Amino acid sequence: MPLTLMKPGETHVIRRISGPPDLRQRLGELGFVSGSDVTVVGGLGGDLILLVKGSRIALGQGMARHIHV
């Protein structure tokens, strides 16, 4: 399921990252890699606030839909 369907407080393991190579690379640089845990901390105006590898990161819906858990 795409990350965008997760609810605040849920934690899942990232299964795969889809999209163009430059987007996958950018998400990987931010810590979104297969096998990592990701937690939805909250939302802000349609964006998601996520906890991955000890860092809080805000992602828009467009980028978040390429992360599958």
CATH number at residue 33: 2.30.30.90
- Residue 28 makes CB contacts below 8 A (sequence gap 6+) with 17
Q: Is 8 helix (H, G, I), strand (E, B) or coil?
A: coil
- Rounded-to-integer distance, Cα 8 and Cα 34, Å: 20
Which pLDDT does position 23 carry in this prediction?
96
Which pLDDT does position 46 carry in this prediction?
81
Q: How many domains does the chain have?
A: 1
The residue range of the domain holding 15 is: 3-68
Residue 32's region, left for phi above 0, alpha for psi from -120 to 50, else beta, is beta
- Rounded-to-integer distance, Cα 59 and Cα 38, Å: 12
What's the mean per-residue pLDDT of the chain? Answer: 94
Residue 38 pLDDT exceeds 90: yes
Residue 36 dihedral angles phi and psi, to the nearest 5°: -85, 145
